[in-house]
Amino acid sequence: MAQARRTVDVPSLVAGAREGRSRAVARLISLVEDGHAALPEVMAALAPHGGNTHVIGLTGSPGVGKSTTTAALIAAFRAQDKRVAVLAVDPSSPFSGGALLGDRIRMEQHATDPGVFIRSVASRGHLGGLSFATPQALRVLDAAGFDVVLLETVGVGQSEVEVAARAETTVVIVAPGMGDGVQAAKAGILEIGDVFVVNKADRDGADDTVRDLRHMIQLGNPERSVDWRTPVVRTVASRGDGIPDLVESLVAHRGWLTSSGALADRRRRRARAEIEAIALATLRRRLGDGGGLVTDAVASAVASGDTDVYAAAREVVDRLTGEPGRQ
């Protein structure tokens, strides 16, 4: 028999997080990852305290230097006396399902800084480079009073555009000699990047990469606002070169988001996606308690050829909505 979950003192945890206690923040994020029964109470308690954090997503192919760039940004923001949190979404361990700690090892020099909180969360097979728990974890960090949250994705390539739905400013990091300029266009991340970074810019081919990116950005995407001119910043993150320019671009983008009204729009879209995900998960869980979304009888009818999958799907939707006959 499974052991009952521990009782959680939500008010004390929330109060501790609001006071900047790292252990309380870590415990709340653990509740998020575990899908704990106290999670609705946690989110209700945190709701009035959010809305001040600048969520910056960092995305790019493996090997371009995302973690090194993240570590350099931590140092730069801390020099401005800003509290910084890092949510590093790692590939799940195939054995434990937990997060691999490579990113946290790279950021080890910040581990003892009380103004920095670093947490690795497991993607647990979730496509798009982000964990299913990411939105609620971001709400914990926001309510805990962090000025900046750096959301570093797993680096899975073309499906990584999901970061744009969670971040307010999306930074796309590429490196010379990796074909990233062309890959950016293929993967669709050209459209979601608010700031582009050519890291390892001391390597051969950096000028070509910068030129290619600027050319593709200039070609434009008609759906993007013409009010924000997407910068391409050169960095050598391992030495800190170009990091002040990157921070300046991030601050400028946050200012544009606020003045243009785009910040409220992005947060509204993020909330809509989060609500839908929770509602669908709740619905699936409740139906699962009563035999599942698709009954054995319906599945057997399709398997035996007595009906087709579209008809079966319509039957499921009709049962849920009480509106038979709608497509």
SS3 (DSSP) at 59: strand
Domains of the chain with bracketed CATH: 49-260 (3.40.50.300), 273-321 (no CATH)
Spell out the per-residue pLDDT of the chain, length 327, in tens: 344 456 889 999 999 999 999 999 999 999 998 889 999 999 999 999 988 999 999 988 888 898 899 999 999 999 999 999 999 876 544 333 344 444 455 566 777 788 999 988 765 544 443 456 888 999 999 999 999 999 988 665 544 566 767 899 999 998 997 665 555 555 566 778 899 999 999 999 999 999 988 888 887 655 555 689 999 999 999 999 999 999 999 999 999 999 999 999 999 988 898 888 888 877 777 776 545 678 888 889 999 999 999 999 998 888 777 766 554
Q: What is the pLDDT of residue 169?
A: 95
Q: Residue 120 belongs to what H/E stretch?
A: strand 116-122
Q: Residue 171 belongs to what H/E stretch?
A: strand 169-174
CB proximity list for 292: less than 8 A, separation 6 or greater: none
**What is the identity of the amino acid at 108?**
E
pTM here is 0.83
Q: What is the pLDDT of residue 3?
A: 43
φ/ψ of 202, rounded to 5, equals -85, 0
Q: Nearest-CA neighbor of 203 among 224, 173, 176, 235?
A: 176
Q: Which string of DSSP letters, residue by residue, matches 225-265?
A: -TTS---EEE-BTTTTBTHHHHHHHHHHHHHHHHHHTHHHH
Q: Residue 88 belongs to what H/E stretch?
A: strand 84-90
